[in-house]
Amino acid sequence: MKNYQKPLEYMNNNHASDTLPKYPRIGVVLSSGGGRGVYAHTGFLMALETLKLPVTALAGCSAGALVGGIVASGTPLPDWFATLGKVQRKEFWKPGSLPGLLWRMLYDKGRGITGISDTQWAIEFCRKNLTAKTFEDCQFPFYALAINLDSGEKTIFSEGEIAPRIMASAAIPIVYQPVKINGEYFCDGAVVDFAPTDAICCLHNLDVVIVHHVSQRFDQKKSIDHALTEPWTLLKITDRLLYRNRPWYLSDEGASSQRISSQRCPCGCGAIIIVIEPELPELTWPMTRGGIHVLREAQQQTTELLTPFQAALQTDSRGMFPKVFKACDDNNK
């Protein structure tokens, strides 16, 4: 039996005694985004806290699942921010020995090789930073998207231990080995969906869903030759395969300068879907240097983009929001 606590309780305790208006039900969806996404989503949630916009339900994919799970578990954002400020890559990513990998590739024809790094270190990193350990004990409903490698089906986790499931959602192919859960193998949810809006939109009678989309863009102007000159060429090629199609909730590719947009939920429930796609600096895997800069950029842009609509979000988001709006379009500057 799930016994979720009040949505406001995940916010900084300093706000607990503030006199707040009665909020509409706000859902949050955090997209995939690799290492950059971990920092960007943290900055985004810090902005929501500053704007006093509490979360009713949250769903995440890959980096979004990792950050979402830690925050939904009740870990205070200042504590998570402090962790990110000092994290070392060896805490979440430990590749096997290169000679051993080459030997298995040549002698055993790569048999049994499923990824460069085991996921046990990353799972332990997640466990250390979680307050609640299971989905059932989260502060509010939380969902994590992964793909089941046995069946090939999209899987949305909503019960059981959080740590292995958010790591399964974030297990980037090639970079990490798949995660085995209850006898089946799972990996990065971005293979099937960048952001699981369907996990929460109509399920929790939400008034508004805010999607923070920080997945890579497929840049048609850059040829594959460009990827061959960059670090982690294999990941660049994988990105081109994963991100060749933009998800339904994003604006047209031509509107690349539009950082915020909205529409009604396509299922007809009447909820507003607000999409924020910030312009962020690159952060190459598995680098952590420069991560705090990404976090601050995401925090600043979210605050800038949502402040004009703060009153609507706090009172009557369905009635006060226009059906479709454009804000902070660089072409209008």
Query: Rounded to an integer, what distance in angstroms lies between the CA atom of residue 246 and that of residue 251?
Result: 9
Query: Rounded to an integer, what distance in angstroms lies between the CA atom of residue 101 and that of residue 116?
Result: 8
The residue ranking higher by pLDDT, 227 or 230, is: 230
On whether the CB atoms of residues 201 and 195 are closer than 8 A, the answer is no
Residues 293-313 pLDDT 10s: 999 999 999 999 999 999 888
Q: What is the mean pLDDT of residues 51-57?
A: 95
Q: How confident is the model at residue 237 (pLDDT cuts 50, 70, 90)?
A: low
By three-state DSSP, how is residue 209 classified?
strand
Give pTM, 2 decimals.
0.81
Query: Rounded to an integer, what distance in angstroms lies between the CA atom of residue 63 and that of residue 48?
Result: 18
Q: What is the pLDDT of residue 72?
A: 98
On whether the CB atoms of residues 40 and 212 are closer than 8 A, the answer is yes
Give the list of residues 6+ apart from residue 325 with CB closer than 8 angstroms, or none.
260, 261, 262
Q: Across the strands, what pairs with 210?
A: 28, 274
Q: What is the mean pLDDT of residues 59-67?
A: 95
The residue ranking higher by pLDDT, 314 or 11, is: 314
Phi, psi for residue 185 in degrees, rounded to 5:
-105, 140
Q: How confident is the model at residue 184 (pLDDT cuts 50, 70, 90)?
A: very high
- Name the residue type at position 102: L
Q: Across the strands, what pairs with 95?
A: 117
Q: How confident is the model at residue 317 (pLDDT cuts 50, 70, 90)?
A: confident
The closest alpha carbon to 51, from 193, 203, 238, 210, belongs to 210
Mean pLDDT lowest for which of 5-14, 59-68, 146-155, 306-315?
5-14
Q: How confident is the model at residue 285 (pLDDT cuts 50, 70, 90)?
A: low
Residue 7 is given by DSSP the state: G
Mean pLDDT lowest for which of 3-12, 36-45, 260-269?
3-12
Burial class from Cβ neighbours inside 10 Å (0-12, 13-18, 19+) for residue 83 reads middle
Q: What is the pLDDT of residue 18?
A: 41
On whether the CB atoms of residues 175 and 285 are closer than 8 A, the answer is yes
- Name the residue type at position 288: T
Mean pLDDT lowest for which of 80-89, 93-102, 128-137, 191-200?
93-102
Burial class from Cβ neighbours inside 10 Å (0-12, 13-18, 19+) for residue 76 reads middle
Residues 11-27 pLDDT 10s: 433 333 344 445 689 99
**In this structure, are strands 174-176 and 179-181 parallel, antiparallel, or unpaired?**
unpaired
Query: Rounded to an integer, what distance in angstroms lies between the CA atom of residue 215 and that of residue 33?
Result: 4
